[in-house]
């Protein structure tokens, strides 16, 4: 089987501060290691409550957040989404789940998630997918912020 070609060449993107939130320690550490290997600075939280506290209390907002959907409550990921967008309108949030369903995916996307990823997809390296999605999300964030800067500059000229 041919290796899938990357849609984004991550070596040309500036690396970012990423928060990973998951109550499964194995998943938390695997995602952290993969993102650190890609050059990102990664912080972790083992619950939605701890993750939301980090989002609210860090001096600078995280550029990207990867969160599990179901932790303290079945809708913990939605609480993380709300906290992320309350802190930073340009937050890039990836929601992952072991128990995916269309209703949850639609609700997460409707509330602004960058993507909704199933952890248990046969034949797919979900950690590689997360790494690629983070690169795409960061690219979108940078474009959006650059557009705002240009718009503000044009207003002042």
**What pLDDT score does 148 carry?**
79
Question: Based on the number of CB atoms within 10 Å of its own CB, is 83 exposed (0-12), middle (13-18) or buried (19 or more)?
Answer: buried
pTM to 2 decimal places: 0.81
- Are the CB atoms for 50 and 19 separated by under 8 Å? no
- Determine the Cα–Cα distance for residues 98 and 118; give it in Å rounded to an integer: 6
**What pLDDT score does 71 carry?**
92
Domains of the chain: 15-156 (3.40.50.2300)
**What pLDDT score does 10 carry?**
42
**What pLDDT score does 104 carry?**
86
Look at 53-62, 105-114, 134-143 and tell me which has the smallest mean pLDDT. Answer: 134-143
In the chain, the largest separation of any two C-alpha atoms, in whole Å, equals: 55
**What pLDDT score does 14 carry?**
62
Is 9 a residue whose pLDDT tops 80? no
Is 66 a residue whose pLDDT tops 60? yes
């Amino acid at each position: 089987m041919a290796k899938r070609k990357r849609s984004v060449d991550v070596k040309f993107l500036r690396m970012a501060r990423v928060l990973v939130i998951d109550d499964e320690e194995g998943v938390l550490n695997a995602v952290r290691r993969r993102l650190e290997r890609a050059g990102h600075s990664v912080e972790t939280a083992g619950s939605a409550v701890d993750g939301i506290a980090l989002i609210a209390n860090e001096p600078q907002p995280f550029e990207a957040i990867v969160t599990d959907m179901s932790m303290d409550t079945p809708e913990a990921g939605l609480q993380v989404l709300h906290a992320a967008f309350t802190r930073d309108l340009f937050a890039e949030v990836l929601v992952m789940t072991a128990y995916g369903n269309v209703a949850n995916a639609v609700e997460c996307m409707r509330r602004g998630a960058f993507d909704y990823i199933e952890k248990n997809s046969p034949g797919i390296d979900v950690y590689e997918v997360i790494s690629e999605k983070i690169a795409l999300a960061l690219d979108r964030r940078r474009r959006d912020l650059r557009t705002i800067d240009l718009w503000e500059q044009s207003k002042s000229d």
